[in-house]
Chains A and B, each alone.
Chain A
Amino acid sequence: MRGAIEQIGSATIVRVRKLLYALGFMVDVFKQTFRFTTSRRVGTHVLTMQILFTGVEALSVVATISLSLGAVIVIQGLSLLPQFGQGQLIFDILIIVITRELGPLLTAVIVTARSGTAISTELGNMVISHEIEAYTVTGINPIRHIVVPRFIGVTLSTLLLNLYFNLFGLLGSFVVTQFVNPIPLREYLSGLLASLSLTDVVSSVVKSIVFGAIIALVATFHGLQVERATTEIPVAAIRSVSHGIILLIIANAIITLIYYI
C-alpha cells in the first residue's frame, strides 16, 4: 500500500515538474517573441519560410475542405429547415458552424497535422545533429532564432487560413445554394451579414490566434524534448499531434463558454 502511494506521489511530482517546465518554456517563448519583434531580425528568413509553408502551401487543403463543408451545411440545412418553416436559419447555422466553431478548429487541426508534425520532426533532427547546441554555443539564442519565428509564423498562418476557410466555406455554400434553391448574391450576402455579429468575428479571430499559439508551442516543445536517439523523433511528432489536438479542443470549449457567459 505504501509502495503504491509512493509511486503515485513520485509520478505526480514528475508530472508537476514537466508541467512547470512546459510553462517555463512558454514564458520564455513569449519573452523572446517580444525581443524578436523589438530587436535585430536575424530570424526573419525562418519566419518567412514558416509562413510560406504553413500559410500558403496549406491553402489548397483548407480551400477544398471548407468548400465541401459549406456545401454540406447548405444541402443538409435546406433539406431540413424549410420543413419547420425555419429556412432563414441557414445563415445563422453557417456563421455558427463555419465562422465561430469549425472554421478555427478545423483550420487548427489541418495546421497541426501538417506543420506541427513537421516542426517537431525538424527540431528533433536538429537536436540529434547538435544543431541546437551549435546555436547555443555561438551565442544565438535557439528560442529566439528557432522557436520564435515558428511561433509567430504558425500563429499568423493559422489566423490567415481561418480567414480563407471562412471565405471559401461561405462561398461554397453560395455555389451549392444556386443548384438547390437559387437566390441572388446580394440577398445571400445580406442574409449572412444579418446573422454575423462583431462577437462572432472576434471569437473566430481570438480562437485562431490562440490555436496557432498552442500548435506552435506544443510542436516546438516536443521537438526540443528529443534528446539523443532518432527513434525519439516520431514519438515527438505523435505527441505533438495528440497533445496539440487535445489542447485545441479544450481551448475551443473554454473560448466558446466565455462567448456565452
Chain B
Amino acid sequence: MEPDDRSDEPENTTDPHRGYGDRGYGDRGYDAEDLLAALGDAAEDRAGETEPPACRLVEISLTVNGDEILQDVKLDIPAHACTVIMGPSGSGKSTLLKTAAGLLVPDTGYVEILGTNPNHATDRELERLRARNGFVFQDDALWQNLSLLQNLTLPVRYHRHDLASDSVTERINGLVGELGAPRRLELRPANVSAGERKIISFVRAIVGDPELLFLDEPTTSVDGEHADLMIRKLRELKERNVTLVAVTHNARIASQLADYVVVLKAGRILRFGSLHEISRSNEPEVGRILTDVLSETATYDGDILELLDPETNTYLT
C-alpha cells in the first residue's frame, strides 16, 4: 500500500463519531481530534522523500493456529523515515512487525528487506542482511544465560571481527551511559528490573549501527525519564538516516518520531499515509482507532495534556 492522500477530502462535519474523543481530559476539555491535528502539524515537514522502500510486504497473509492474523497486507515502508504501526490490541501489529523483519514466514506473499527476500537468501546473505538490522522486542528477549555485557557484545563479536574488544567495550559503555542503562553489566538479565532489561535490549539493537531498526513497544516498562532518553536516541538515529519501524501505543513516540502511520485493524491495513494525512483523516474508523490508542496511553501518563500544552509542547516548534 502506497501512502494515502485521501485526507485532502473535505472534513465530514456530520460524522457520527466526531465526538468520540471528547472526553475532557482535565479541565481544559481537549479532545483527541485536536491532538491528532496537532500531531499532524508537527509531522507535516517530516515525511521522507520518495526512495526505494526499506521494507516491502507483498500480498502477505499469515494464519496461526487457524486464526488469520494478517490478511492481504501490501505495504512499502519508506527508507530513512519513521513508520509507526498503530492499532487496537490483537490487531496483528507485532505479527506485522515480525513479518516485516523476516522473523515470521508468511503463508502467502513475500517480504523484501533492504532489497533482499530473506526466504531466498543464502545463509551468508541472510547473515549480512541481519547485521544491518536491529530489533527491539516487546518483552526484551535478552539471552538469560548470558550477562548483560555478553548480551551486548555477542552480536558485535559475531559480525564485526575487525573491531578490537576495547573499541566494542567503549562503544557499549558510551551507549549504556547515554541511555541510563544499569552500570553493573556483569549481572544476568534475571537480576535487573524489567525497565533495565528493556534498555539493554534497546542498546543491543543499536550497538551494531543498524540501517533499519524495528521496535516493538520500545518504551514499555521504562520510566518516563529513560523513555525520553530512548526517544532522544531514536531521533538522533533518524537524523542519521536510520529507517525506523515502530509498533507503539506511546503518543510521544508517535508525535516526535512518526513520518508515516500504518493503521491496522483485524490483520488488515486500514490506512497508510503520512502522519499529517492520517491525523486529518475523515474516516471515522481510523479516527476512532487512533483516538483509542493514543488516549489509552494519555490516560495514564498525561501525554495528551503535555502534547497540547503550549508551555511544554516542544515538538511543535
Contact = CB atoms under 8 A, between A and B. Distances in A.
A130 B155 CA distance: 16
A141 B137 CA distance: 18
A254 interface: no
Nearest to A129: B141
Interface in B27-65: none
Contacts of B161: 40
Contacts of A139: 126-131, 133, 155, 158-159
A137 B141 CA distance: 11
Contacts of A42: 154, 157-158
Interface residues of A, number: 16
B141 A133 contact: yes
Interface residues of B, number: 27
B137 A134 contact: yes
Interface in A21-41: 40
B127 A141 contact: yes
B145 to A, nearest CB: 8
B203 to A, nearest CB: 12
Interface in B95-116: 98, 101, 103
Interface in A122-147: 125-126, 129-131, 133-141
A137 B130 contact: yes
A133 B137 contact: yes
B129 A131 contact: no
Contacts of B155: 138-140
Contact of A140 (B129, B142, B158, B214): B158
A137 B135 contact: yes
A129 to B, nearest CB: 6
A129 B139 contact: yes
Contacts of A133: 98, 103, 137, 141
A139 B127 CA distance: 5
B20 interface: no
A144 to B, nearest CB: 9
Nearest to A137: B135
B246 to A, nearest CB: 15
Contacts of A137: 101, 103, 130, 133, 135, 214
A136 B143 CA distance: 12
Most buried by A among B141, B159, B208: B141
Contacts of B129: 139
A42 B159 CA distance: 10
B139 A134 contact: no
A139 B144 CA distance: 18
B271 interface: no
Contacts of B142: 131, 134
Contacts of A126: 144
Nearest to A132: B141
B158 A129 contact: no
Contacts of B214: 137
A139 B101 CA distance: 12
B204 interface: yes
B14 to A, nearest CB: 45
Interface of A: 40, 42, 125-126, 129-131, 133-141
17 contacts: A40-B158, A129-B141, A130-B141, A131-B143, A133-B137, A133-B141, A134-B141, A134-B142, A134-B143, A137-B103, A137-B133, A138-B155, A139-B126, A139-B129, A139-B130, A139-B131, A139-B155
